[in-house]
Amino acid sequence: MDVVSSLPLVFNAPARGKPPLHFADLDEAGRIAAAEKLGLPKFRANQLAKQYFARLNADATEMTDLPAAIREEVGEALFPTLMTPIRHVATDSGTTRKTLWRLHDGTLLESVLMRYPERNTLCISSQAGCGMACPFCATGQGGLDRNLSTAEIVDQVRAAARALRDGDLGEPGRLSNIVFMGMGEPLANYKRVVDAVRKITSPEPNGFGISARSVTVSTVGLAPAIRRLADEGIPVTLAVSLHTPDDELRDTLVPVNNRWPVAEVLEAARYYADTTGRRVSIEYALIRDVNDQPWRADLLGAKLRKALGQMVHVNLIPLNPTPGSQWDASPKDVEREFVRRVQEQGVSCTVRDTRGQEIAAACGQLAAEEG
Ligand code: SF4
């Protein structure tokens, strides 16, 4: 049974606002069939794929290798406008840029592009809003609006790759890394996310040719979906947002823990590591006086060592304050002690550099507000 449809109702997005079918929703056979439907020979499907995935072009009027007479028809049938940028906000001297998009049905969505000396990372959204209701997260407060379509996920990547190529963020560059850490729980929109990952990682012209190792899919721990992802044969990095090693607190911090408790999540993570050979990332937002106690660091280290051995790395995330929230980041000395204790258990652990904090673009801050 489909993992997503087996989830409680709260995890199923309402079926409203269905986005128009787009070229990026289709696989190779679908693209050929769509071209044929327009009376175009098979080679045109390949040409369109090159335009979209290699030249990063989604505007048929710019596709100069297509006969001028058919560009408009191709545009209307296969390249409807999926997202319109409403606002770009930059910070970190212009190296971090958050974009607010409006989708065809008015749904708002955000993605964040971060330039580093050695890589360019795009943080993308997989759902509009999120139904997981983590109390410390801005996105979770608004609930789930709807699932994004494959093309709505993929087109965030195309737009960012194009912006980088065209030098919109300084020196022209190439998009190298994708993290599914924006709005939404990626594994609750399983089929579309996996389809999008295949398009992100397939070589041109069937995809953007970004290495699977450079793609991170994060989850709050939907254990059956983690196992299913392990069996897909695309060795992306799995990031599990654990946030605490004990069920008692996790039941409130990450409500889905009531369904799949810590032990089950770690078992699924082990299966992922064994099947893909990839080390699993454990995300841990350190919250003052909530989950930052020394005994929790010891317990986290011990549980991870037992479950995953060397196949795990802990990313501590200093909590990003959200407006009006009572949650706060831990003091630096508490953070250092936490790291030391986890490492003492033989588990690798570092503090993540949190980019974009001042533009509310860091993890758990994507609330897509228009104001
Ligand atoms: S932390 Fe992630 S899973 Fe939890 S509510 Fe926020 S976006 Fe959803």
Confidence at 93, pLDDT banded by 50, 70, 90: confident
To test the pocket of ligand 1, the residue of 130, 244, 251, 256 to mutate (highest count of ligand atoms within 8 Å of its CB) is: 130
Tell me the pLDDT tens digit for each residue of 7-26: 333 333 444 578 999 999 99
Ligand 1 centroid, distance to 172 Cα (angstroms) = 33
Catalytic residue ranges = 110, 363
Confidence at 221, pLDDT banded by 50, 70, 90: very high
Ligand 1 centroid, distance to 42 Cα (angstroms) = 42
β-bridge pairing 108-115 and 144-147:
unpaired
83-370 has which CATH code?
A: 3.20.20.70
> The CATH number of 23-78 is which of 1.10.10.1400, 1.25.40.10, 1.10.150.530, 2.160.10.10?
1.10.150.530
Task: Output the pLDDT for position 92.
Answer: 78
Q: Is 137 marked within a binding site?
A: yes
Task: Output the pLDDT for position 15.
Answer: 44
Question: How many other CB atoms are found less than 10 A from the CB of residue 324?
Answer: 7
DSSP β-bridge partners for residue 317 = 285
Contacts of residue 3, defined as CB under 8 A and 6 or more positions apart, other chains included, come to 187, 190, 222, 224, 225, 228
Q: Is 320 marked within a binding site?
A: yes
Ligand 1: lining residues by beta carbon, under 6 Å = 130, 132-134, 137, 139-140, 183-185, 220, 364
Confidence at 60, pLDDT banded by 50, 70, 90: very high
Statement: the pTM of the whole predicted model exceeds 0.75 = yes
Residue 5 vs residue 209, higher pLDDT: 209
Ligand 1 centroid, distance to 69 Cα (angstroms) = 47
Q: Is 202 marked within a binding site?
A: no
Ligand 1 centroid, distance to 130 Cα (angstroms) = 6
Distance of alpha carbon 24 from alpha carbon 129, whole angstroms: 22
Q: What is the mean pLDDT of residues 337-363?
A: 80
Residue 131 vs residue 355, higher pLDDT: 131
Ligand 1 centroid, distance to 363 Cα (angstroms) = 9
Q: Which conformational region is residue 356 in: left (phi greater than 0), alpha (psi within -120 to 50 degrees), or beta? A: left
Q: Is 134 marked within a binding site?
A: yes
At residue 266's C-alpha, the angle toward residues 261 and 267, to 5°, is: 100
CA of 185, closest atom in ligand 1: 3
Specify the domain boundaries for CATH 3.20.20.70 within the chain. Answer: 83-370
Residue 354 has pLDDT above 80, yes or no: no
Residue nearest to atom 7 of ligand 1 (CA): 184
Task: Output the pLDDT for position 369.
Answer: 54
Specify the domain boundaries for CATH 1.10.150.530 within the chain. Answer: 23-78
Weakest-pLDDT range from 5-9, 242-246, 294-298, 307-311: 5-9
To test the pocket of ligand 1, the residue of 125, 126, 134 to mutate (highest count of ligand atoms within 8 Å of its CB) is: 134
CA of 363, closest atom in ligand 1: 1
